[in-house]
Chains A and B, each alone.
Chain A
Amino acid sequence: MTATVLDSAERLKDILDRLVAKSEADYYNPYQLFQWPDTLPQEQYWMSPELMSVHGTEVGAELTEEQLHKLSKWESVNFYSLNVHGIRELITEVIARIHTKEFKLTSEYFHHIIGEENEHMWFFARFCNQYGGKIYPDLTFKFDQASTDGPAAHFLVFARLLLFEEIVDFFNKRMGEDERLDPTIRKVNAIHHQDESRHVAFGRQIVSLLWKDLAAKSDESELEAVRAYLKAYLRRSLESLVNPAAFRDAGIPEPYKARNRVLADPAHADLDRAILKRSVKFLVAEGILLTESIDA
């Protein structure tokens, strides 16, 4: 039973107590925290150039500084749009489990996560709408109504949420400290990084416990299917950072071809490896993945 796995986890209880206390101590009013100037300067980077999808690639080398500035704006709007959609999924899944028998122990902290994530979604959406005039649409298409119950469903939900948060945090941490970026951009990223460090700490604990529960109840072929899904999820998450609509909005011709060239470029693969380094090490250390490769 998942209830047993979580309820008997003394370490998780300690961590939850500390995280709840920290959430309460760090509480802020996001609606009053940001200045939101009417516009942001167009002739500069909106995203650390090293974090742009085209960094070091042949496509990037063909772009002028002006085009790179434009692309950095639209890739940052894409990044915050992905945050909006990812957070909506996170909140939905956590709400589906809060105050259920299996997640009794974590329900108190779930309230903090839901509240904090709602606020993050608000400031990311505000940024997109105010400075990009839109949120890029969610291109997730659910063909298969996956089960929301049982150890595999619980594990996959929290694993997806953790990996999503860790990928996002790779960017937030760096952009929150990047003096080349406008103060509003730095602040949005820095604030999110500050809150996400708590969520990631929680995510690693619960994913580790839910994996042990799943592994004890599943045969090797079932675990292999879960591994294959997680690797596909990671590939899909990285690919979503390269959006042809952002290339189009930046005025780059043949945006689909540009996207394909970027995805095939070894320099882009280096960025992907850097983004996933921390997450993949964790997954392998826990025995969730057997190797650090996320290839199919």
Chain B
Amino acid sequence: MTQSAVDFIIDYLLAKRPDLTSIDLDLDLIENRILDSLGFVNFLYVVEEHTGTEISLDDVTPEDFRTVRSIAKRFFDGADVG
């Protein structure tokens, strides 16, 4: 999958940013401060819980978290996001 993983990521991020009504798959989450350093750990835990896999920061880069598409591809088994 899965579209549900994409929806899940977007729903989480929108809940953190109620000023936004939608988040495009390719929107730069870091540039737009939707993901920032202080909020990152909680997002990491949410992804870990959802995927059932602990994520080592030694194995990831900021680029993995740049967009919803890159997050889905990197952490949700290459989710079908085009």
Instruction: Name A residues whose Cβ lies closer than 8 Å to a Cβ of B.
Output: 137-144, 229, 232-233, 235-236, 239-240, 244-245, 256-257, 259
Contacts and interface: CB of A to CB of B under 8 A. Distances in A.
B35 A143 contact: yes
Nearest to A143: B30
Interface in B33-75: 35-42, 44-46, 48-49, 54, 56-58, 62, 65
A215 B43 CA distance: 33
Binding site of B, secondary structure by majority: helix, strand, loop or mixed? helix
Interface in B2-47: 30, 35-42, 44-46
A140 B44 CA distance: 11
Nearest to B62: A143
Contacts, number: 50
A35 to B, nearest CB: 34
B57 A143 contact: no
A137 B56 contact: yes
Contacts of B58: 137
A233 B40 CA distance: 12
Number of chain B interface residues as a range? 20 to 34
A143 B36 contact: yes
Binding site of A, secondary structure by majority: helix, strand, loop or mixed? helix
A174 B35 CA distance: 36
A259 B49 CA distance: 11
Contacts of B48: 244, 256
A143 B37 contact: yes
B38 A236 contact: yes
A200 to B, nearest CB: 23
Contact of A240 (B36, B37, B39, B41): B41
Given A143-B30, A143-B62, A259-B45, A232 B57 contact: no
B36 A239 contact: no
B41 A139 contact: yes
A141 B62 contact: yes
Q: Which of B35, B38, B46, B62 has most A Cβ within 10 Å?
A: B38
Q: Which of A141, A235, A256, A259 has most B Cβ within 10 Å?
A: A141
B67 to A, nearest CB: 13
Given A244-B45, A256-B49, A139 B40 contact: yes
19 contacts: A139-B41, A140-B37, A140-B40, A140-B41, A141-B37, A141-B40, A141-B44, A141-B62, A141-B65, A143-B36, A143-B40, A229-B38, A232-B39, A235-B38, A239-B42, A244-B45, A244-B48, A244-B49, A256-B48
